[in-house]
Amino acid sequence: MNKISLDDAKKQYLRLKSLNRQVDMTRGRPATEQFAVGMRMLKDADSLQYTYAGGDARNYGDLKGIPSARRLFAQLFGVDYDNVIVLDGSSLSIMYRLIANAMFFGVMGEKPWKDQGKIKFLCPAPGYDRHFAICEEFGIEMVVVPMHADGPDMDMIRHAVQSDASVKGVWCVPKYSNPTGAIFSDSVVDQFASLKPAAKDFRIFWDNAYIIHSLTGEDHHLKNIFEAAKAYGGEDLVYEFTSTSKITFAGSGVAALAASGNNIEDFLSHLKFEMINPNKVNQVMHVAFLKDVDNIKSIMRQHAAVLGPKFALVDRRLEDAFGKDDEYVSWSKPLGGYFVSLNVKGVASQVASLAKEAGVKFTAAGATYPYSRDPYNTNIRIAPSIPTLDELDFAMDVLIASINLALAQKADD
């Protein structure tokens, strides 16, 4: 149990609170210094080649994105050129549109979801709050699936997907997962790829947001789900997403969708009513700057040079405070991505509100669960990217003091 007395915990907390400092760690945003990377993309942008065989990036046309951008993302995803389209900055927008289309028009000729009664999505949790928010927007019932170190609970997913035709989707961040940092194991990827859904219009939403976002300087292995799906004969099963929001500019980059030819065709059959083309000028700049996967890896090492020490600080401070095997406090040690997932048994909401009162804002406790309902009041998402090292050190002081106080108060109850 907690080794600090309630009195000591109070004193420690109040001293920090009295400093009146403010740190915002609510979202996984890049730090300002990281934009030095993207700024190089804008240099001499007027001297790039904007025409290409069959088109001009500055004029209308090419709803799927420019060929060179599609080639680059095909390489990054590890899929064929024909299975990739490249759109504007937000991959969230592609996910939203796919779900809106499914709701209103149906998936590949199936009945619209709006006419199929209750619709359910499986939500591995802790997970990404903006995924869950899209479900709430469309009235889709969310079913919590526990996350393990190697991915979500696949027995539960297989049972639900294969027995219940109202289950139409599952959210995944398969690499450096938001927020746990988990990288799905080959076995988990194979189990996803071999699902035999009860619903023909079930899809895996494979949000590979951190596809190449290592914190360690070297990339980590994630099995290619399309190759696995091909082996099981079900390439229509998967939509894969990524974006350059954390490679170039947040929300001002480009986003891409990888999917089977059938799924791409289905998506474009609606997208063509909504736009003539995405921002292709931005795509030319991105392709000229990013070049190829090896070059992107070297760009990501520059981001890791900024982010790595921040993640190391969080880990070191937590370990100094709670050791390696605390009964109540544990946390993830991510190899990539933007988050540390902290578990403080039964006191997450108390910790987050104590920290907030002392000037340090975390993502609202519970936000990593559907409907913001963390069943054990345990998970807090730490986003260390934005603060400076000095601010982060203070934020960790406050976090640790808040945990000590919340646990001491609980023990005192």
Closest approach, Cβ 149 to a copy of itself, in A, equals: 29
Please count the residues of this chain forming the interface with a copy of itself, following the rule CB under 8 A: 52
Q: Contact between 325 and a copy of itself (CB under 8 A)?
A: no
Collapsing DSSP to helix, strand or coil, 56 comes out as strand
Q: Contact between 277 and a copy of itself (CB under 8 A)?
A: yes
Q: Judged by CB under 8 A, which stretch of 229-237, 244-252, 304-312, 398-406 contacts a copy of itself?
A: 244-252
Q: Contact between 281 and a copy of itself (CB under 8 A)?
A: yes
Tell me how crowded residue 166 is: count the other CB atoms within 10 A of its CB.
Answer: 16
Tokens of 46: 């007027």
Cα–Cα distance list, 311 to 5, 216, 248, 285, 387 (Å): 29, 10, 20, 31, 11
Q: Please give the residues from 101 up to 120 whose contact with a copy of itself meets the rule CB under 8 A.
A: 103-104, 114
Closest approach, Cβ 209 to a copy of itself, in A, equals: 12
Cα–Cα distance list, 142 to 87, 110, 379 (Å): 28, 21, 18
Cα–Cα distance list, 412 to 42, 357, 406 (Å): 58, 21, 10
Q: Are 89 and 243 in contact (CB under 8 A)?
A: yes
Closest approach, Cβ 110 to a copy of itself, in A, equals: 17
Closest approach, Cβ 51 to a copy of itself, in A, equals: 8
Applying CB under 8 A, among 179, 278, 334, 370 the residue interacting with a copy of itself is 278
Pick from 359, 353, 401: which is nearest to 377 by CA? Answer: 353
Q: Contact between 100 and a copy of itself (CB under 8 A)?
A: yes
Q: Please give the residues from 42 up to 81 whose contact with a copy of itself meets the rule CB under 8 A.
A: 42-46, 50-51, 56-60
Q: Contact between 306 and a copy of itself (CB under 8 A)?
A: no
Q: Judged by CB under 8 A, which stretch of 90-98, 211-219, 303-311, 388-396 contacts a copy of itself?
A: 90-98
Q: Are 173 and 242 in contact (CB under 8 A)?
A: no
Tokens of 396: 């960790």
CA 338, CA 383: separation in Å to the nearest integer?
6
Query: Taking the CA of residue 146 as centre, how many other CA atoms within 13 Å lie in the half-sphere pointing to its CB?
Result: 7
The smaller minimum CB distance to a copy of itself, of residues 175 and 280, is found at: 280
Closest approach, Cβ 281 to a copy of itself, in A, equals: 4
Q: Contact between 19 and a copy of itself (CB under 8 A)?
A: no
Q: Contact between 185 and a copy of itself (CB under 8 A)?
A: no
Closest approach, Cβ 34 to a copy of itself, in A, equals: 9
Q: Contact between 371 and a copy of itself (CB under 8 A)?
A: no
The phi-psi region of residue 217 (left if phi > 0; otherwise alpha if psi is between -120 and 50; otherwise beta) is left
* Strands, sheet with 141-148, edge to edge from the N-terminal-most edge strand: 84-87, 255-259, 238-243, 203-207, 167-172, 120-125, 141-148, 151-152
Tell me how crowded residue 234 is: count the other CB atoms within 10 A of its CB.
Answer: 18
Cα–Cα distance list, 359 to 63, 112, 350, 391 (Å): 46, 47, 14, 11
Q: Contact between 162 and a copy of itself (CB under 8 A)?
A: no
Applying CB under 8 A, among 275, 371, 373, 390 the residue interacting with a copy of itself is 275
Q: Contact between 39 and a copy of itself (CB under 8 A)?
A: yes
Applying CB under 8 A, among 10, 11, 21, 29 the residue interacting with a copy of itself is 29
Closest approach, Cβ 274 to a copy of itself, in A, equals: 4
Task: Tell me the residue type at 72.
Answer: L
Binding site for a copy of itself (CB under 8 A): 27, 29-30, 32, 35, 38-40, 42-46, 50-51, 56-60, 88-90, 92-93, 96-97, 100, 103-104, 114, 130, 133-134, 137-138, 245, 249-252, 270, 273-282
